[in-house]
Structure 1
């Protein structure tokens, strides 16, 4: 009986640490400044704004996952994945327990003379076991997901360079998938 009690205590402790580390108790902060249907951010001092037609937020797996995809006309894109999503709140990127939440920024250089020579570089977060940023969901409605984000990402498969993403904001149409 004592082993069963110890096992139950271990399970409860692990569950508490896991669920409390995935989302903070705050409400996700301010909604940001992105125009409706877009994602905006500052990437190493330069501005990024996605196109409405190629930007969305998808809530899936019974509402437990959130995926944000946003691209612009220059071939640059953001992808953000939150596992253990539960609505408005703050979701860390990285850290010992939050390694499943991720964000990336990519740049594609299209060679119009020879499209097969086109290249894509991807900067990923997290890239080690430290917390490198966060995603704040301030509002989720039946039709939209609104929030802010910031992170530092590394080109782990390329030149190892880092990009600093600040002032990230989104007001995206929400899709629901199973």
Structure 2
């Protein structure tokens, strides 16, 4: 009997931790919430979605309006709850981006789009933590630094990010 209890305890503690992906964060159902350089943005449910195809999770959301902000998170080779780094090695293909889209209503062809991406060099730029994942739903948190590599080379810090989205 004692051997059975010891074996059960060893098996229980050697498995992957259920909280390996941390807490889910405060995002309401169907949204992404984050601070970009200290300013909170929240995406609209109608333009926020997540897709899981062939082991790749894509999460996208947009705030809408004429001065819109968007976030995109991409995890390649996802295998469930856990922490996924953004960069930090040649074999890590996870990425994230932040976009600002400003629509000129008097001349829509003059719409300006600025994109900051992570990672932007060989270092780890942040991480995405999946705290809950089912066949129909994904929740988690994220943070990263991103750079406008095709523009002014400015860097933005995206912190306190969370998502709560149907797949």
Establish whether TM, by shorter chain, passes 0.5.
yes
Scaled by the length of structure 1, what TM-score is found?
Answer: 0.80
Aligned length, in residue pairs: 149
C-alpha deviation, 1:143, in angstroms? 2.1
Alignment of 1:24-173 (within 5 A): 27-61=20-54, 64-73=55-64, 74-173=67-166
Scaled by the length of structure 2, what TM-score is found?
Answer: 0.86
C-alpha deviation, 1:98, in angstroms? 4.7
Q: Deviations 1:117-161 (Å, cap 9, x if unpaired)?
A: 111000000000000100000001232100000000000000000
Q: In structure 2, do the counterparts of structure 1 residues 96 and 120 end up closer, same or farther at CA, with 3 Å as the change threshold?
A: same
C-alpha deviation, 1:57, in angstroms? 1.2
C-alpha deviation, 1:97, in angstroms? 3.5
Determine the C-alpha separation between the residues in 1 that align with 2:143 and 2:61. Answer: 15
